[in-house]
Chains A and B, each alone.
Chain A
Amino acid sequence: MSIIAPDIAAPDAPVERSSLLTRLHEWVVTVDHKRLGIMYVVAGLGFFLVAGIEASVMRWQLAAAGKTVVSPEVFNRLFTMHGTTMVFLAGIPIVFGFANYLVPLMIGARDLAFPRLNAFGFWAFLFGGVLLYFSFLGGDGLYGAGSAPDVGWFAYAPLTARAFSPGNSTDYWNLSILVMGFGTVATSINLIATTLSMRCRGMTLGRMPLYVWMMLVVAGMTVIGLPPLSAAQIMLLLDRFLGAHFFDTQAGGSAVMWQHFFWFFGHPEVYILMVPGFAMVSEMIPVFSRKVIFGYPMVVAASLAIGFLAMTVWAHHMFAVGMGAPLNSAFAASTMLIAIPTGIKIFNWVATMYGGRIRFATPMLFSCAFLFQFLCAGLTGIILSVVPFNWQLTDSYFVVAHFHFVLVGGLIFTIFGAIYYWFPKATGRLLSERLGRWHFWLFVVGFNLTFVPMHWAGMLGMPRRIYTYPADRGWDFWNLIATLGVPFQIAAVLIFMVNVVISLRRGERAGNDPWDAWTLEWATASPPPAYNFETVPIVASRRPLWDLKHPDDPDGPHE
């Protein structure tokens, strides 16, 4: 029995060209997990570009003291929209888009457990995204004040109360995130159900690819972490429209309670975005090192530990709020503890590379940069967990540097790597390696130019979210360097877009398995047929394709 489909050169065969409208209709009504996955990722990348433009304008404004590129009103909208967009409209849809595409293929299933719920999740997200951006036009509201939201992506109470945020801009933020939240929870439930009940024969939990394991953890964290945010947003709606007083401090409401609700979502959220990055490199590093992942059970255990601990660290965003010494100590402890499973993962990836034959294709370049940058992010995370040190650094540019090392240096780098890695599966064509290397090096240089100096700016006392700063503070130099990194990043992203456009038409044909990989998605055609697998595969180990390629030395006995 072979689980490898013949290399069908489908794109070369004469295909009946349907009209544009018909094809558009097919995409809009689809419930195919692969098409929804692609739509998630493409829409997410679109929002990523928009949020990147917003960030570039902010960097221009901050390049020197006292610049007047944008007004304070516009600057506050820019950082609010940048943060909200990157987290909810770029980060979440891209990682869930990948999961949509890959999880059924990796576990040998023909679709997600609830295909229509899946379509609902996508359209809820897209509607929320469009609603959020409609605020630029519609945010004036009945009171004629405000436009896009300007209260920060964390929307701290009581700044969001009617008294301080008239007009409807805050309501756009609130309602669009609420809608997206329902979609994301639906997709997470779908992923959990699929992973638990739709695995092919032989695919025990202990044989699932690490990607699937980690996305299971991510889906679990989402189901627990997102509803509290939705609940808080409904309370905020009641405050703003029906005169409730949950967060209205003038009437005895609690500003700190919003922070607890928000970060009870917001910190798992960091891991909801980061663990998919871990998941992707856990697939790429072994394939490009030509070695099995080192310590599979330990990596799974570490992922579960991260999932549990991630629910216990939220108040480390609130060390300056005045929670008192015992609570501050407790959250310092949980925050430091979560560094241990995270460290274990880094060690296991490096151990996988150790003794390998590392092939530096573009996905591996991004994975290696991820290792260094995420190491920095983890270590600045340790620094921030030391509460007294945190009192100096929280809400300063050091924190901006830290979480951009996490979310760009960690997540965006792995997403780029993952796009180079799985693009051939989704489209049947490889991305250009030459353009890929340009993309990689420009992005590494630009990213580090922008975000390394921010550590210094923060330690020199520069707070976050300021639209300008006095000239005598000694922050100009570091801000100028940070801004100079922006053109490099823009160039890198433009090259990436060119690469995608060119490779879609003229890229080298990929075949089923261009990277000589080991998981089930490489056993079917590229792109896979709507039903994924002609015959549902049967697996006997963690690396079914390794077993096929090395019948003399299958994985099974080693596990």
Chain B
Amino acid sequence: MRLAEALGAPSTPSIFAPASTPAFAIRDLSFLVLAIVTGIFIVVAGVTVYAILRYRRRPGDDGRDPPQVYGSMQIELAWTVVPFLIVIVLFLTTTRYIFAIERQPETPDAVEVTVVGNQWWWEIRYPRLGIVTANELHVPVSDAARPTPTFITLQSADVIHSFWIPQLAGKTDLVPGKTNRMWIDPRTPGTYVGQCAEFCGLQHAGMLLTVTVHPKDEFDRWVAAQRAAAADDPAVRAGRDVFASVACISCHTVRGTPGNGVFGPDLTHLMSRATLGAGVAANTPENLRAWVDDPARLKPGARMPAMKLSREQLDGLVAYLVTLR
């Protein structure tokens, strides 16, 4: 529950509560499809129920076999042609939506993001803005008058993952050795939840993701804060030295320090993120301490090893990390 408050997320990522254009279009299409299949269900199930009730053997049946009807070409033709017509309608509609969504041209105002799937977290890069962050995608809201959609380039560093925020768009896989593209055009500010949708190993369930849609000025402030240099508070110099002297820097980057590893999330603005371990715990100093001590306690199987730090090292390191706002 606390996690939900921390994220400020709507409770359920229903595909019928869209907030962005591809998801809006899919919902409209889904209503058409659901109407068609419901109609078919009512007709076919109705006839079946009728046949079962009307032609059941009743008490006092004389046991003789009913008249044998071998078939009728006209009837067969009718129930071949009608479904065929339905299929044509459905196919043409589907194709129109496929091309409209997949061939959406990119506008000059669009935000460019690259999302790289890792076991089991998301690296998020803004190549034009020079920002690198993780697990929490921030985008500006887009209005119909001056749309600022976000175009997302999807790649994977290891196995196949899938990017799914049900209220914003359908899934697109992140396939190693292949670059996929998708886009969102969110119309309502808020935080939308989702998670990896392609089985990617042990912690597939622990690879959560949020997209926060900001009003334009708020997004600009977020960008400015992310582009700022990492905090360098002399009071936590001891912790910073721990960070730079043990193995942290092999995997993590804090811009402006010796740490420039790329296997783990960029920590330059760690405390600007709401969660740890790709959404498995709220990003509080206590959780952060537990995570640094032994990530597997919060996320069994996480790739980050327990660093076996002494209590003083741990205290100092966490004190340093919480300054990285």
Contact = CB atoms under 8 A, between A and B. Distances in A.
A111 B172 CA distance: 51
Contacts of A152: 199
A320 interface: yes
A461 B195 CA distance: 9
Interface in B65-122: 65-72, 75-76, 79-80, 83-84, 87, 90-91, 93-95, 97-99, 101-103, 119
Nearest to A550: B65
Given A329-B95, A360-B56, A473 B13 contact: yes
Contact of A463 (B23, B33, B67, B195): B195
A474 B52 contact: no
Interface string B157-188: 01110101011011111011110110000000
Nearest to A382: B37
B245 interface: no
A379 B87 CA distance: 12
Contacts of A254: 177
B70 A294 contact: yes
A151 B198 CA distance: 11
Given A158-B176, A357-B61, A391-B170, A164 B201 contact: yes
A559 B55 CA distance: 24
A250 B158 CA distance: 8
B145 interface: no
B289 interface: no
Interface stretch (A119-127, A284-292, A405-413): A284-292
Contacts of A376: 41
Contacts, number: 290
A379 B48 contact: no
B306 to A, nearest CB: 17
Given A336-B90, A375-B44, A461-B12, A388 B61 contact: no
Interface string A291-316: 11011111000000000000000000
B194 interface: yes
Given A249-B176, A382-B37, A353 B52 contact: yes
B29 A386 contact: yes
A11 interface: no
B251 interface: no
Interface in B187-201: 193-201
Q: Please indicate which of the listed interface residues A76, A294, A461 has the most CB atoms of chain B within 10 Å of its own CB.
A: A461
Given A255-B176, A328-B98, A388-B98, A358 B55 contact: yes
Given A355-B67, A368-B52, A460-B12, A346 B177 contact: no
B69 A292 contact: yes
Given A158-B158, A249-B176, A337-B87, A343 B79 contact: yes
A466 B205 contact: yes
Interface stretch (B1-9, B123-131, B213-221, B222-230): B1-9
Interface string A334-374: 00110110011011101101111111100000001001100
A297 B55 contact: no
A12 interface: no
Contacts of A320: 162, 170-173, 197-198
Given A321-B173, A340-B83, A379-B37, A298 B76 contact: yes
A346 B43 CA distance: 12
Given A329-B95, A350-B44, A355-B67, A164 B16 contact: no
B45 A472 contact: no
Nearest to B62: A357
B309 interface: no
Nearest to A472: B4
B246 interface: no
A261 to B, nearest CB: 15
Nearest to B93: A386
Contacts of A359: 57
A391 B26 contact: yes
B11 interface: yes
B47 interface: yes
B34 interface: yes
Contacts of B90: 336, 382, 385-386
Contacts of B9: 472
Nearest to B78: A347
Interface string A469-506: 11111110000000000000000000000000000000
Given A391-B170, A470-B208, A159 B199 contact: yes
A333 interface: yes
B204 interface: yes
Contacts of B167: 461
A355 B55 contact: yes
B51 interface: yes
A392 interface: yes
Contact of A474 (B11, B119, B176, B200): B11
A455 to B, nearest CB: 11
B55 A356 contact: yes
A340 B178 CA distance: 35
A51 to B, nearest CB: 18
Contact of A392 (B15, B83, B204): B15
B94 to A, nearest CB: 5
Given A164-B201, A355-B67, A382-B90, A322 B180 contact: yes
B39 to A, nearest CB: 10
Contacts of A385: 90, 94
A466 B204 contact: yes
A395 B205 CA distance: 13
B250 interface: no
Contact of B33 (A297, A339, A357, A386): A386
A490 B163 CA distance: 36
Given A164-B119, A353-B52, A388-B25, 4 more contacts: A294-B72, A322-B173, A357-B61, A392-B166
13 contacts: A71-B300, A72-B205, A249-B175, A252-B177, A291-B68, A295-B72, A320-B162, A357-B57, A357-B66, A358-B57, A379-B37, A386-B29, A464-B199
